[in-house]
Structures are given as structure tokens and as C-alpha cells.
Amino acid sequence: MNVLKLFFKTGFTNSSACKPHFRRQLIRKISSTSFDKYASFNPSPLSLRQLLEFGTKGSKNGCQEASFHFLRKELPVRLANIMKEISLLPDNLLTMPSVRLVMSWYEQSFQELLQFESGDEMSHLPKFTDKLINIRNRHTNVVETMAQGILELKETHGIDVNTENRIQYFLDRFYMSRISIRMLINQHTLLFGSDSELGNHPRHIGSIDPGCNVLHVVQDAFENARFLCEQYYLMCPEIEIICKSPGNKLKNIEIVYVPSHLYHMLFELFKNAMRAVVEHHSEETEVPKLKVMICKGVEDLTIKLSDEGGGVPRSKTDLLFQYMYSTAPQPCRSNSGSAPLAGYGYGLPLSRLYARYFHGDIILNSLEGFGTDALIYLKVLSNEANELLPVYNTTTSKFYASDIPVSDWSSSPSNGPSSTSTRTYFTSATACRS
């Protein structure tokens, strides 16, 4: 199917029941008709191959006008879908200043894109590109600001289990939506805007490298993480890298990918591994090496990072991907008003989203008392590396309205008092017979 036909292929999704009137005030600045129209469409996911073909110079689809026609429809759809979900958040969270600020950014960006809703004049192209750059700059601190909103809720109202579950669900979808929107904006501005003059690598198609050398990205991420580690701890583990590509005698392992996304994942994993190793072996003069294996198969490219940092208990592994779980001190805002990212506990959850964005993943396997294996999975075939996008529909709205179901399995004594009296009786009776 022609790439452009895929770009413009969208489907309707059923709207859920309307929320109370005050929630509609969240989008008070936007035409209700326009907002509901775009929110009723599903986003149109693209593959890395489609993005690559579209941006290749000389391709019949690689032109600024075609990108303009696609983005002026697709970006409002993605914004409207996630704005619908913001309006379903708990009432107390919606009143937090930082959350209201984030929503105002989305409102303004959506409204500005509506200016290009109609008209095919070529004169719109430069203005549209400049507007995308403004929107991208406006949303630069969305992650930190939304995180600050969660902290504000925690400090003023507290967060129960049901609320935490809804927030975790929302943030995964919200940040994935943000990754996808920035990806589309970056592709357009790098190819057709002033960003194209910033010295982007000549081989890159926008932000995509059709021959991304995985080893080079691994080494780059390691060196930068080592710099931080040595600054803080005055020491750092060395690295040992092994590359395997069955059936391929070439030394370089390459795939079509976004190097900045891969770097983000690796840098975070290296930081965590280095910290664990140095602290676990703090009494020793030498620390064990980090071991990295890069393996390219037919479907998956896998990067395994192994450390001997003591590992974590199995009960804590899932918590590492929770946004409200962090081993670092709670951050403080700077004098400039911007919120720092360190200490929010967002490093691993966001890294996993970057991996999942093109249908990869990050998995942690830990051996408590020894160390941890972190595995990054990426799609080898660019046509299978499709965007994973949140879609607003009735299932979504039901999730925000429902509570966590009560478990129908027995739990450990530390997880609940359900059988305390029976357990006490059994324990005392056993003791009497001994």
C-alpha cells in the first residue's frame, strides 16, 4: 500500500460517556466540535521503514508538502486522544498547579495546529515548520512538570493504591504519546526546517539512522555514564563487550533505528549498573567489569548488560518500573522554577517506553546477592518496528473508573491480615503439641 495512503488511514473510536461538566472546563479554550472530532479518530501508527521512505530525498513521498498534509491532521489526533485521558484523571490531581500547567500547554498547542486545518497554500509550509519548533520547545519540560504534579498530589492529599494504579497506567500512555509526537515533529523539522542546518549526520534521515552501529552507541553511552560515575564515586567498573551475529561475518552490527532513543536506554542502564557495582563492592580495591553482549538474530536485536552489583529481590523487580518508586532522594525545584528529573524514579520506566515505542522491550532479570541482567530487545526488521500508540476508547475510560480487583489468591503474611486469626490459632496450637 502506498505510504501516503497509510498516513491518512484513520478510524473512528467510540466515545465514552461524558464526564461531569467541570472536566469539560479543562478544554474550555478549544472549540468543542474540533476537539471531539479529532479525539474520535485513532492515531495512525507508522513503522520505521515508512518514516525512512518518507524522508528519503528523491523519494516520491519525500517532500515537505506531503509531511505538512499528514502532520496537520495526525498531530491534533494524537494531542486530542491524550488530552481526553488527562480529563479522566482523579479530581485532586487535576487541580494540582503543575498538572494544570501541562494541560494549558496541550490546549495551546492543539489550538495552534488548528490554524493549519484547511488550505493547501505553499505559503503555510514555513509557518507550519516554525510552529512545530515552538510547540516542541513549549513541551520540553512536560515530563518533569507532570512528575512535579504527582509529587504535589502526594504531599497535599496522599495517594492510595487505586489512585497509584491509575496514575501508573496514565503516565505510561501519556509519556508514550509524548515520545511519538516529538518523533513526528523532529522528523519534519530535521528534514525541512532550520534544524536541518544544525549539522545532522549526513547518513541520517531526520533522527533515524538507516545503518545505526549498535556498538558505537553502546560505547558512547558507557563513556558518558563512566564520566558521571567517576565524578561521584572516584572509580568506575570497566566494560567487556561481545558481538554475535549468527550467519553474518561482518564485525559491525547495524539496524535501522533512532540512535538517540537507544542511547537514552543504554545510558540509564549503565548508570544503574555502575552505581550498583561500586556501592556493592565499596570495600574492595577493584570492582567487577560490566559485561555487554550484542546479538543480532532474524527478528530481534538483543543487548544484554550484566553487572555484579548485588541484584535486587524478586519482590522489588517490578517496582523498578513504577513511576512513584525511586531509591534517590526526592528532588527539589531549582530557582528557575524548572523541575529536575533526577530522583523522580522515571529513568527505567521512560527507558522501557523508548524500547516499546517501536515494539521492543526492556526486561530485568536479577539474582539477589549477585547481580542483574538488563536486556534490551529491538526489532531487526524496520517494517515490523511499528509505533506503539495509546488509543482513547471506552476500554480506556472504564479503566480510570474502576478499582483494582480484590485478589482471589492467598498472599504472604506481610501482604494482608486476611487470615491472621486462623494463622495465630494454628501457630499456638502447634506450639502446644510440641
The answer on pLDDT for 193 being more than 90 is: no
- Predicted pLDDT of residue 12: 32
234: pLDDT strictly greater than 60: yes
Residue of 268, 291, 379, 387 marked catalytic: 268
CA distance linking residue 387 with residue 356, whole number of Å: 8
pLDDT at 22 over 90: no
Residue 47: DSSP 8-state: B
Model confidence over 239-249: pLDDT tens digits?
999 999 877 66
| Mean pLDDT calculated for residue range 380-399 | 94
Distance, CA of 83 to CA of 104 (rounded, Å) = 10
pLDDT value for 60: 46
Distance between CA atoms of residues 317 and 211, nearest Å: 34
> Which residues are CB-contacts of 77 (< 8 A; sequence separation ≥ 6)?
10, 38, 39, 41, 42, 43, 44
Overall average pLDDT of the 416-434 stretch: 47
Residue range 395-410: mean pLDDT, rounded: 84
**Catalytic entry in 272, 291, 296, 387:** 272
Nearest to 170 by CA among 60, 82, 250: 82
Query: What percent of the chain is modeled with pLDDT above 70?
Result: 79
pLDDT (tens digit, 9 = 90+) per residue, 102-118?
999 999 999 999 999 88
Percentage of residues of the chain with pLDDT beyond 90? 63
Asked whether 7 and 70 are in contact (CB, 8 A), the reply is yes
| pLDDT value for 84 | 94
Cα gap 81→42, rounded to integer Å? 8
pLDDT over threshold 80, residue 143 = yes
C-alpha cell at position 417: 491480615
In 236-288 the beta strands, taken as DSSP E runs, fall at: 239-244, 254-257
Helix, strand, coil in percent for the chain, rounding step 5: 50, 10, 35
Sign of the alpha-carbon dihedral angle for 287, 245, 271, 319: negative
Please check the confidence at residue 292 and state whether its pLDDT lies above 90. Answer: yes
Give the model's confidence band at 135: pLDDT under 50 very low, under 70 low, under 90 confident, else very high.
very high
End-to-end CA distance of the chain: give it in Å, rounded. Answer: 77
**Catalytic residue chosen out of the listed positions 264, 280, 291, 296:** 264
Secondary structure letter of residue 205 according to DSSP: B
Average pLDDT (326-340) is: 50
What are 33-79's pLDDT values in tens digits? Answer: 889 999 999 999 999 999 998 877 655 445 888 899 999 999 999 99
- Alpha-carbon span 25 to 30, nearest angstrom: 10
Distance CA 191, CA 65 (A): 12
Q: Considering the candidates 84, 139, 188, 271, report the single residue annotated as catalytic.
A: 271
155-184 as b/e: b if 16+ CB within 10 A: eeeebeeebbebbbebbbbbbbbbbbbbbb
Highest mean pLDDT, choosing among 170-174, 198-202, 404-408:
170-174
Arithmetic mean of pLDDT, 13-36: 56
* pLDDT tens-digit readout, 302-323: 999 999 999 999 999 989 999 9
Q: Quote the CA–CA distance of 203 and 211 in Å, as a whole number.
A: 8
Residue 25: pLDDT band (50, 70, 90) is low
Residue 20 has pLDDT above 50, yes or no: no
Mean pLDDT score of the chain:
84
Residue 67 grid coordinates: 509531511
Known catalytic residue at 271: yes
pLDDT at 337 over 50: no
More confident residue, 26 or 315: 315
Query: Which long-range contacts link 30-38 to residues 24+ away (Cβ below 8 Å)?
Result: 30/107, 30/110, 30/111, 30/114, 31/114, 34/76, 34/114, 34/117, 35/80, 35/83, 35/110, 38/76, 38/77, 38/79, 38/80, 38/81, 38/110
* pLDDT at residue 326, as a whole number: 66
Q: Identify the three-state secondary structure at position 314.
A: helix
Handedness of CA 269, 272, 273, 275 (dihedral sign): positive
- Catalytic residue list contains 272: yes
Give pLDDT, residue 406: 75
Residue 300, all three cell numbers: 530481534
CA atoms within 13 A on the CB side of 333: 15
Q: Is the pLDDT of residue 23 over 80?
A: no
Q: What is the pLDDT of residue 334?
A: 47
pLDDT at 378 over 80: yes
Query: What is the pLDDT, as a whole number, of residue 1?
Result: 41
- The Cα 383–Cα 48 span in angstroms is 6
Closest listed residue to residue 260, CA positions, set 192, 209, 193: 209
Q: Residue 389: which of 43, 40, 51 has the closest Cα? A: 43
